[in-house]
Amino acid sequence: MARGMLTSWEPQGLGSRLAEMSAWESRQGPPSRECLWIISPHDLHNKTEVSSVIQLVIDPDISVTCGDNSVYVYDGLPDFVSMGTHQSQVLGVFCTQDTIYPVTVEARSGMMTVHYKQGDPLEGFNASVTVLTCPDRCPRNRVCRQGACVCPDGTTGPDCSDQLCSNNCTADLKQGFCDKGYGRCLCTEGWGGPQC
């Protein structure tokens, strides 16, 4: 099985293509291979460390039939790993159909979990992992603020290229205002659209 704890600060890859059959798995029927990666560059016992942003990019060569299985990505440790002792949030469930790859997701807790159970031996995925942390490992499109690599004001997204509340929601004309928490315009009565 491809299971492991990835603790490096350096960019690295992971994938299900070479997963091995587990010793306790039935040899009857089609083989299934279970992959589980826990990614955290931090000492899990040191609660004073600043959390890093972990980016996972799922490559375009993904071959996972949606009806059969998916790649599950969590920010934190899901219950099936931590028995409910850690908080987690599903960042995404990925399969071949209905998504344009590559796809980038970010965990902001300083820990990411990737889980995949392979049914068909010809299916699988590959991905790359990058840890963003201040001050040394912030990409040039991000800024270091309070120990975290974040997008500059007014931008959002994995590469900080998406405008947050474009045209400032026409706030100068009192047509709306920017809800920065969700990155959307809230329009005043009588106005609508993406920029109000």
63-82 pLDDT tens trace: 998 877 899 999 988 887 77
| 76 torsion bin: left (phi>0), alpha (psi -120 to 50), beta (else) | left
Q: What is the dihedral of CA 113, 118, 123, 125, to 10 degrees?
A: 10
pLDDT at residue 23 is higher than 60: no
Please tell me the pTM assigned to this model: 0.72
- 2-133, what's its fold? Jelly Rolls (2.60.120)
**Which pLDDT belongs to residue 61?**
93
Helix (H, G, I), strand (E, B) or coil at 127: strand
Work out the pLDDT band at 101, boundaries 50, 70, 90. very high
**Angle CA(91)–CA(95)–CA(97) in degrees, nearest 5?**
120
Is the peptide bond prior to 121 cis by the omega test (within 30 degrees of 0)?
A: no
**Which residues, 6+ apart, have CB-to-CB distance to 49 below 8 Å?**
42, 43, 110
**What ranges do the domains of the chain cover?**
2-133
Does residue 11 contact residue 129 with C-beta atoms inside 8 Å? yes
Work out the pLDDT band at 15, boundaries 50, 70, 90. confident
**Which pLDDT belongs to residue 24?**
47
Strands, E assignment, 108-193? 112-118, 126-132, 143-145, 148-150, 155-156, 162-163, 176-179, 184-187
CA distances (Å), origin 103, targets 1, 26, 84, 139: 24, 33, 28, 18
